[in-house]
Amino acid sequence: TRGEMAKSTQLIDNEVFRAYATYAAIVLLKMMLMSLITAYFRITRKAFVNPEDTESFGKGESAKKYLRTDPDVERARRGHLNDLENIVPFVGIGLLYALSSPELSTALLHFRIFTGARIFHTFAYLMPLPQPSRGLSWAVGYSVTFSMAYRVLKTVWLL
């Protein structure tokens, strides 16, 4: 059974799976970056939501004025939530797709377009760029995930 173990962990030797691992890690790290961006805006704009977060600015009323919303903080938070809504399906469906034995070149195309679209989406949201920049980059990422799901369902049902 030691041999079987070794084999079962060799998924990482598969080229498509390795491509998946690379791009899934990159988009998840990009999503994690949104926490730092939100924290940066909260601290520089002094806009917090939890009373205990403002205590270092003084006690009582003087700290209370920092319990407020700020447009930049809210914008970063919306970008973060949009990442969750779109990167979670990519990571889940992408894993199944990577296991459905697609061509490496096709898989790379899917992973790279999605990753590029989501990085552009974040810039479009934070700067912000005029529409339809953000809308189009969202639609590109959405379509890539949809295309992978189609391939997964086709593979599973035809086997």
Residues 114-143 that bind a copy of itself (CB under 8 A): 128-131, 134, 138, 142
DSSP label at 129? P
Residue 14 has what DSSP assignment? Answer: S
Residue list 84-113, contact with a copy of itself (CB under 8 A): 84-86, 88-89, 91-93, 95-96, 99-101
* Selected range binding a copy of itself among 26-34, 57-65, 103-111, 112-120, rule: CB under 8 A: 26-34
Q: Does 11 bind a copy of itself (CB under 8 A)?
A: yes
Q: Which residues of 24-35 are buried (b: 16+ CB within 10 A; e: fewer)?
A: bebbeebbeebe
Report the residue number, 1 or 61, with the smaller CB distance to a copy of itself: 1
Dihedrals phi, psi of 67, to nearest 5 degrees? -85, 85
Q: Taking each helix axis from N to C terminus, what angle separates 104-126 and 133-158, rounded to the nearest 10 degrees?
A: 150
Please, which residues have CB within 8 angstroms of residue 136's CB and are 6 or more apart in sequence? none
Binding site for a copy of itself (CB under 8 A): 1, 4-5, 7-18, 21-22, 24-25, 28-29, 31-32, 34-35, 49-50, 52-53, 55-56, 75, 78, 80-81, 84-86, 88-89, 91-93, 95-96, 99-101, 128-131, 134, 138, 142, 145-146, 149, 152-153, 155-157, 159
